[in-house]
Amino acid sequence: MLKAVIFDMDGVLVDSEPLHFKSNQMTLRKYCGLELEYDYYKQYIGSTVTFMWKKIVRDFGIVDYSPETLQSLNDEILDELVQTEGYPPVKGAAELVRSLHRQGYLLAVASSSSRRKIEENLKHLDIRSCFSAIVSGVELERPKPNPDIFQKAVEELGVQTEECLVIEDSMNGVKASVAAGIPCVGYINPNSGEQDLSEADYLVEDFSSVEESFLRMVHDHHFGEP
């Protein structure tokens, strides 16, 4: 029986990926004289920025800045971009959150972003009170596509794995959900790049037609229930 729904944030609740890519490009161009190509960057969508900067430093042979310093410099640039441009909400996502909350479902956010950024976005969307748990991948040892973040969300919600469903927009997120043994609805967000969501149970292109009954059907079919 479906009791809880776990949402990714970036690309599912807020359309943040274009701004993240832009800030990363600006950071590497300004401090390292490097041009970040999208084909390289897209592998990190759904993973943590800590993992990304460590690998970028290693892949590009950067010696003048540590991953931690670049991450901090990027945060400054990103904060300026957010203040001037803002994160646009994903159409229909906040409405789905409120609807599920009204119907008594337990809700969690399991995002690779920092806890501060998660809290800020949920408050901006006016849906913070709908969520019983928030899990930041930054605080875990292993990022998506490892299952840790969803396992932690299940634990904090106080439910069983088979009572949950995940909504994700990235290949790393879908793989993490599969690894955790949780059914997954893949949201096709064109701003998240060409993500391989083929391992998700079902795919949707917008949230306007996604209702509780649909999510329950996805969950039940995953476990072979009528």
1-46: pLDDT as tens digits: 999 999 999 999 999 888 999 999 999 999 999 999 999 998 998 8
Phi, psi of 140 (to 5 degrees): -110, 155
- Sheet of 4-7, strands arranged across: 133-136, 106-111, 4-7, 164-168, 184-187, 202-204
Which run of H or of E encompasses 160? none
Q: Is the pLDDT of residue 208 over 90?
A: no
Q: What mean pLDDT, rounded, does the chain reach?
A: 95
**206 and 121 in one domain?**
yes
pLDDT at 85: 83
pLDDT at 83: 86
| pLDDT class of 191 with cuts at 50, 70, 90 | confident
Percentage, residues of the chain above pLDDT 70: 100
**102 and 196 in one domain?**
yes
Can you tell me the mean pLDDT for 87-114?
96
Alpha-carbon distance 181 to 162, whole Å? 8
**55 and 101 in one domain?**
no
pLDDT at 203: 98
Contact (Cβ atoms closer than 8 angstroms) between residue 28 and residue 34: yes
CATH number for 158: 3.40.50.1000
Whole-model pTM: value is 0.86
| pLDDT class of 188 with cuts at 50, 70, 90 | very high
**64 and 116 in one domain?**
no
Can you tell me the mean pLDDT for 156-175?
97
Q: Is the pLDDT of residue 226 over 80?
A: no
Beta bridge partners of 133: 108
- The residues annotated with a catalytic role in the active site are 8, 10
Distances from the Cα of 182 to the Cα of 106, 175, 206, angstroms: 15, 10, 21
Coil, strand or helix: which one is 225? coil
**131 and 78 in one domain?**
no
Q: What range defines the domain where residue 60 resides?
A: 17-85
| pLDDT class of 194 with cuts at 50, 70, 90 | confident
Alpha-carbon distance 132 to 105, whole Å? 10
**169 and 109 in one domain?**
yes
